[in-house]
Structure 1
Amino acid sequence: MQVPFDLTSYVRVLKLASTPSWNEFSQIAKIAGAGIVLVGLLGFIIFIFMSFIPS
């Protein structure tokens, strides 16, 4: 492991990184929230479906 080389690559990445604008952040948050709600809804539908199937 080459520590100086690793540190320079980390510094390079941090220099390229920037904070997102509010519009970009809100769009990402909406998409992530919609994905979480969709997966939860799918799990709930499967739970309801499995509850009504007789054992």
Structure 2
Amino acid sequence: MDIKYDLGSYTRVLKLASTPSWEEFSRIALIAGAGIVLIGFIGYVIFTIMNTLPGLF
């Protein structure tokens, strides 16, 4: 493990990183929010099916 090499790599990555523009940030937030809503909807559908099926038989 070469600590000097590792620190140099981390420094190089941090120099390349930049803060996103407002447009890029809002697009990422919108996509992430849509994914969360979609996963929640799928979970709700599965929950509803699992609660409804035992009552039918």
TM-score (structure 1 length as normaliser): 0.96
Report which of the two has the higher share of helix: 2
> Alpha carbon RMSD of aligned pairs, Å?
0.9
Instruction: Show structure 1 runs of 4+ deviating over 4 A.
Output: none
| Matched pairs, number | 55
The one-letter code of the counterpart of 1:43 is: G
TM-score (structure 2 length as normaliser): 0.93
- Uncovered stretches (5+) of structure 1, i.e. residues with no partner: none
- Uncovered stretches (5+) of structure 2, i.e. residues with no partner: none
**Between the two proteins, what is the percent identity of the paired residues?**
64
